[in-house]
Amino acid sequence: MKRLKIQDVIVVEGKHDAAKIKAVVDGDVLITNGTHISSAFMQLLKNMTAQRGVIIFTDPDSPGQYIRRKLHQAIPNAKHAVLTSQSHKIGVEHASEEEIVVALKHAQALQATQAKPVLSHRDMYDLKLMGHAASAALRDQLCKQLHLPKANGKTLRNYLVMLNLNKHDVEALL
């Protein structure tokens, strides 16, 4: 398999994740070394974002989601690569080369907008993405389709707003 060339810096959780990415990608990888991220590392990422761009590629587990949120708060214009595999082993280090390539090709920038939210909590309820028995399954399906991390209703709404999707856009996807 030919290695995928990526200009953005890819941020992963650990050294095994980095080794897996480097086997598939021709590009630079930085490691957070867990959930405690130093202010110096955050500053380095902010500088990288200004020069080259950053792709956050963390595991879909709780620590990975925590790291993703923390990095996104500090670097709102970072891109997000997400594994959508439903295999029993989760995480970047266990993903296949194909899954990694797909995730990186679908990496999306979740841009924070200054505009009024285009999708309300009521819209999420009307779309059955919140407050219904099947909401979790429907959210999981939508997250997978949009290559977003698995999310609860409030977090998914925030992601959809950042993607500038309105009720009609989401309805068309469901």
**What structural domains and CATH numbers belong to the chain?**
1-109 (3.40.1360.10), 113-174 (no CATH)
Span 109-139, pLDDT tens digits = 555 444 545 788 999 999 999 999 999 999 9
Determine phi and psi for 173, rounding to 5 degrees: -80, -25
pLDDT tens digit string along 142-155? 988 887 778 899 88
Burial of 130 (0-12, 13-18, 19+ CB in 10 A): buried
CB count in 10 Å sphere of residue 122: 10
Burial class (CB in 10 A: 0-12, 13-18, 19+), 25: buried
Instruction: Note if the pTM is more than 0.95.
Output: no
The string of pLDDT tens digits covering residues 61-91 is 889 889 998 998 888 888 888 887 665 467 8
Q: What is the pLDDT of residue 108?
A: 64
**Rounded Cα gap, residues 157 and 124, in angstroms:** 7
32: which 2 tokens? 């957070």
